[in-house]
Amino acid sequence: MNDEQTKRFDVIFEGVGRSSGKMRNDISVTWPMMKESFELATDEGPFHGGDGTAPPPLALFTAALTGCLMTQIRAFSKRLNTPIRHVEVKARLHWNGEQSGDDPYETSPVAFDLDVDIDSDASPDALVRLLSAAKKGCFIEQTLAKGLTVGHRLRVGDAWREV
């Protein structure tokens, strides 16, 4: 695609989370470009001091990565003229944690694996092309692959401080 045909666009989501229980968080997410909003919640089970009233954040993260890839597979199958009947993705997201004494634990990712099963009469090459395109179009997968640094600011009095 040359520059004259290239369309550029921004996708911006905004979220506001508020604590509302022992470990529960109620989060309002908006997608201004589409004038859409969503109400989500996270909670932890008793192990982490919560009541288990909503999925833990890592469950939503797993669902978001899995759903993002599945959405792109289905959307791009039409664009690439690769008919599909059904898609199943099995995700395994693995982290490890380490804790010294009473200090808070620290975590690090180990591996994120997605097994993709596409029911289609398309050739293996066409399915590889479809999955490759879907991987490039999945915002979450691309964020993980690029290793984006997350910025944090903390309100200290009337000012914001970078942390």
Q: What is the pLDDT of residues 5-39, one digit of tens each?
A: 999 999 999 999 999 999 999 999 999 999 999 99
pLDDT beyond 60 at 101: yes
User: Is the distance from CB of 162 to CB of 149 less than 8 angstroms?
Assistant: no
Q: What is the pLDDT of residues 125-150, one digit of tens each?
A: 999 999 999 999 999 999 999 988 99
Burial class (CB in 10 A: 0-12, 13-18, 19+), 125: exposed
- 56-148: CATH topology: GMP Synthetase; Chain A, domain 3 (3.30.300)
Percentage with pLDDT > 70 across the chain: 99
Closest by alpha carbon to 118, among 99, 132, 137?
132
Strand, coil or helix: what is 113? strand
Cα gap 65→60, rounded to integer Å? 9
Model confidence, pTM: 0.90
